[in-house]
Amino acid sequence: MYCTFFGFRESPFTITPNPRFLFMSDPHREAFAHLVYAVKSRAGFVLLTGEVGTGKTTLLRSFLNRLDADGHRTALIFNPCLSSLELLRSINRELGLAWESESRLELLQALNEFLLEQKAAGSRVVLVMDEAQNLSVEVLEQIRLISNLETETDKLLQIVLSGQPELLSLLAREELRQLNQRITVRYHLLPMGFDSMQRYIEHRMELAGSYRAATFSKAALKRIFRFSGGVPRLVNIVCDRALLIGFTQDERAISGRMASQAVAEIAGRAPHGKVAGFVKRLFRRKL
């Protein structure tokens, strides 16, 4: 709605995990380096955790996109509601293998043959399990068994488990101690600091059109940071709302007052705010 007013080609603050908009704050850069190291060294299991909205999925998609196709084969599984059989079938399907079988043994044999072929060709195979905090103990145990596909010297499959902090508690359970012990690379993704958040906002506006299309005052940035804690998803939500408020007021400069109004409306403290009334009037005119 406000893109034309500000001169954006697209909305700068959507909450979909678009790798093109990835901003490499210090924590994201460190997390990315851990992922690259783990794959290059054939570390086996990698654990990436972080609070809701810190950008784990965006980071993982960007990481997979940057792996060269000739030297890597990848599978991304983001449906946590799987049985152990469905997991094997999903992995094989993602890798372009036979997956219709109802036999775990047949599925594992097909996967093992593929991994050995890729190893002989000098290619690495990377499996990413997103939202892993929601996986059952049974499925996590199946993932551990998959990791047993190895040669005498190398792991054939690099496995990345990514999830919210609850995943740490899940892995600490007694029945998963074997899996927990196999994780050799771990990283917890923290939110951005204030300065990184400011650069993040400018980065997204630049990719959408121009970082000069709108200006956020120091007061607005401080209010956004207090609300979001530097969590990218929350930053996106409040910035999107603040730009909409700027649009309704014909202002390209986002003030502290506008940011506070955006926070109040998002938090439900102003359900019938000026923006809601403006949108209603706008749609009435269109009708």
pLDDT in tens, 87-117: 999 999 999 999 999 999 999 999 999 999 9
Relative orientation angle of helices 84-94 and 137-146, to the nearest 10 degrees: 50
pLDDT tens digit sequence for 177-236: 999 999 999 999 999 999 999 999 999 999 999 988 899 999 999 999 999 999 999 999
In this structure, what is the dihedral angle of CA atoms 282, 228, 188, 138, given to the nearest 10 degrees?
-50
Q: CB atoms < 10 A from the CB of 4, how many?
A: 8
pLDDT of residue 283: 40
At 41, is the secondary structure helix, strand, or coil? coil
Side-chain half-sphere exposure of 103, counting CA atoms within 13 A: 5
DSSP state string for 46-114: EEEEE-TTSSHHHHHHHHHHHS-TTTEEEEEE------HHHHHHHHHHHTTS----S-HHHHHHHHHHH
In CATH, which superfamily holds the domain spanning 26-189? P-loop containing nucleotide triphosphate hydrolases (3.40.50.300)
pLDDT of residue 190: 96
Q: How far is CA 193 from CA 154, 173, 224, 263, in A?
A: 39, 33, 12, 19
Per-residue pLDDT at 44 exceeds 80: yes
pLDDT of residue 219: 98
pLDDT of residue 279: 44
Per-residue pLDDT band at 154 (split at 50, 70, 90): confident
Contacts 24+ apart (CB under 8 A), 253-259: 253/214, 253/215, 253/217, 254/214, 254/215, 254/216, 254/217, 254/220, 255/217, 255/219, 255/220, 256/217, 256/219, 256/220, 256/222, 256/223, 258/220, 259/216, 259/219, 259/220, 259/221, 259/223, 259/224
pLDDT tens digit sequence for 65-87: 998 877 899 999 987 788 999 99
Rounded Cα distance, 14 and 130, in Å: 20
Q: Are 172 and 166 in contact (CB under 8 A)?
A: no
Q: Are 174 and 17 in contact (CB under 8 A)?
A: no
pLDDT of residue 270: 53
pLDDT tens digit sequence for 236-277: 999 999 999 999 999 999 999 999 999 999 987 654 445 444
Per-residue pLDDT at 161 exceeds 80: yes
Per-residue pLDDT at 284 exceeds 70: no
pLDDT tens digit sequence for 3-41: 999 999 999 999 999 999 999 999 999 999 999 999 988
More confident residue, 241 or 280: 241
**CATH 3.40.50.300 location in the chain:** 26-189
Per-residue pLDDT band at 287 (split at 50, 70, 90): very low
More confident residue, 80 or 132: 132
Element (H, E) at 125: strand 124-129
Question: What one-character DSSP code corresponds to residue 187?
Answer: E
For domain 193-282, the CATH architecture is: Orthogonal Bundle (1.10)
Q: Are 240 and 279 in contact (CB under 8 A)?
A: no
**CATH 1.10.8 location in the chain:** 193-282
Per-residue pLDDT band at 58 (split at 50, 70, 90): very high
Tokens standing for residue 202: 């400018």
At 250, is the secondary structure helix, strand, or coil? coil
